[in-house]
Structure 1
Amino acid sequence: MGMIIVDAARNSTTYFWGERTSTIDWCEENYVVSNYIAEFWNSITNSIFVALALLGMHTTIKHRQGKRIFACYAALMFVGCGSVSFHATLKYTTQLLDELPMLYLCGLVIYALVEINKETRYGIKAPLILIAMQAAITAIYVFWIQSPVFHQVAFALTAFGGVGCGLKRLKEMQLSNRTKRILGRLHLLGHVGMWGGFLVWNLDNVFCHRLRSYRAHVGTPLDVFLQLHGWWHILTAYGSTYLLLWVHFIRLARLGHDHLFTIKYRLGFLPYIAMKTPKKID
């Protein structure tokens, strides 16, 4: 399902990162904007992952909301950083840094939902099982089935597993109408971001040659709006963040603190969980 576009002239050793070794090359023309960044727009659009993740990490520290939720936001930042390194270099090693953290993020989300209470229930068993599963998928992908399709299927199944765990937790709790509205909105926006991103990702793959022609026709700066893989990054960054906020708010509801919190936006476009009162909780 990934694109391999042969940009022979722009994959030569004359460019900063040399010849492409990744198994995937996306629709953005290589080394057009900068001789030091292979896919410029595909690289910088990942900054939204980092911004949203840092805001979530700050929230969990400020309100002392647990290492498990903090780890999920940290993993989201790692996803963005790995994607930057991949699109900037188009090397196989950095491709793994782009792809594998997505799986690990989903694994952390599942763990945060399984061990949703303040005190852990399953001890060392739950993390060991999840680590073993992630390690098995990683080993199969790196040493056996080195196909992006395998990674995409494994990621999708793990992501659906995380959503399923969240829905199961919701059925176990009695929620106020306000909390139901907040969770419903977060869940909806998360899926809109993820499925919207998946749509433009496929459009970028299927209609790449046409998009390249259109970009050449409209020229700079309008061509940036036709960099659909970059829009995939933006949409999935928001989709992932809204789903993490959904998980975060589920845990607040489980601990009985949901009435103290709401969703706010920093700078008008960066969503985060904020307290309705200045009081901090343990």
Structure 2
Amino acid sequence: MADGISSFWGPVTSTVECCEKNYAHSSYIAEFYNTISNIPAILLALIGLVNALRQKFEKRFSILHISNMILAIGSMLYHATLQRVQQQSDETPMVWEMLLYMYILYSPDWHYRSTMPTFLFLYGAVFAVVHSVIRFGFGFKVHYVVLCLLCIPRMYKYYIHTQVASAKWVAKLYVATLSLGSLCWFCDRVFCKQIVSWPINPQGHALWHLLMGFNCYFANTFLMFCRAQQREWAPKIVYFMGILPYVKIEKPKAQ
């Protein structure tokens, strides 16, 4: 939320701000809650990465978890500084991450192995260059939503073909966190003028970060389960400390 304050990072130059008072808690952090709310996403991605490496899942899942971490770190830099140059470190990884999800979702049925990753890589590279020169405001949001919508049919297909109740529950957690997080983001954007008059700001954008951190983790866990089923690795959903679901597999000795 713009308030005309110039602090350690100088005047705000980003094209988008959230409903949080700038530099309210530190002269080094422009939006305090929107910055620290990315920490759970980093920790969850780290847990997913360790599991993927420990059980020797395909490299695509390690890259996916790392991309989640990069996105969260980029978001922290953006909200901490509210500088236009750091806005790129938030928005570009968002697109790259969705392209990676598209590859993981659709590649099992893609007969030309090199075509899809080559196209997606070039698409992501071109977008990064163009977006750094031409700032897409509303157009960026539309573009991102379209990429998300392209993933939904495939996710639904995996859901209806999965018979394991525990895996379906992870998928439902994915939908629930996405829906609730989107609602928090929407309210923070649309009702900011009303929210600032409340005694306590619910920090809708920070809640969006928190919920989307769990959302990405649940999505990754569900996709790892489905891929392990395709590879006949006898996957099952187990729980870390009885709370956090993750995939445990048993590969055939030949693999």
Find the counterpart in structure 2 of residue 77 from structure 1.
Answer: 69
Which of 233, 237, 246 is 1:262 aligned to?
237
Alignment of 1:196-207 (within 5 A): 196-207=180-191
Give the TM-score normalised by structure 2: 0.89
Find the counterpart in structure 2 of residue 108 from structure 1.
Answer: 100
AA matched with 1:252:
A
Contact 1:49 1:237 in 2 (8 A): yes
AA matched with 1:273:
V
Contact 1:56 1:73 in 2 (8 A): yes
Does the alignment pair 1:149 with 2:138?
yes
Tell me the alpha carbon deviations over residues 105-140 of structure 1, each in whole angstroms, 9 at most, x when there is no partner.
1111221233349xx953322211112222343344
Q: CA deviation at 1:61?
A: 0.5
Task: State how far apart, in whole Å, the 2-side matches of 1:190 and 1:54 are.
Answer: 18
Does the alignment pair 1:94 with 2:92?
no
Change (3 A) 1:212 1:267: farther
Change (3 A) 1:36 1:113: same
Contact 2:32 2:80 in 1 (8 A): yes
Larger deviation, residues 153-162 vs 40-49: 153-162
AA matched with 2:63:
A
Tell me the alpha carbon deviations over residues 222-248 of structure 1, each in whole angstroms, 9 at most, x when there is no partner.
x5xx11110011111112221121211
Change (3 A) 1:279 1:16: farther
Larger deviation, residues 159-168 vs 28-37: 159-168
RMSD of aligned Cα (Å): 2.5
Number of equivalenced pairs: 255
Residue 29 of structure 1: SS of its match in structure 2? Answer: coil
Larger deviation, residues 148-157 vs 66-75: 148-157
Find the counterpart in structure 2 of residue 185 from structure 1.
Answer: 169
Task: State how far apart, in whole Å, the 1-side matches of 2:77 and 2:66 are.
Answer: 17
Alignment of 1:219-258 (within 5 A): 223=201, 226-257=202-233
Structure 1: unaligned runs, 5 residues or longer: none
Find the counterpart in structure 2 of residue 129 from structure 1.
Answer: 119
Change (3 A) 1:207 1:280: farther
Tell me the alpha carbon deviations over residues 210-264 of structure 1, each in whole angstroms, 9 at most, x when there is no partner.
22221xx35xxxx5xx11110011111112221121211110110112x342141
Residue 115 of structure 1: SS of its match in structure 2? Answer: helix
Structure 2: unaligned runs, 5 residues or longer: none
Change (3 A) 1:238 1:149: same
Give the TM-score normalised by structure 1: 0.81
Alignment of 1:12-91 (within 5 A): 12=6, 15-91=7-83
Task: State how far apart, in whole Å, the 1-side matches of 2:152 and 2:126 are.
Answer: 21
Tell me the alpha carbon deviations over residues 148-190 of structure 1, each in whole angstroms, 9 at most, x when there is no partner.
322222112212222333444567x6x5x3x2x2332222211
Contact 2:177 2:212 in 1 (8 A): yes
Change (3 A) 1:126 1:115: same
Task: State how far apart, in whole Å, the 1-side matches of 2:254 and 2:169 are.
Answer: 25
Find the counterpart in structure 2 of residue 7 from structure 1.
Answer: 3
Task: State how far apart, in whole Å, the 1-side matches of 2:254 and 2:128 are.
Answer: 38
Change (3 A) 1:255 1:92: same
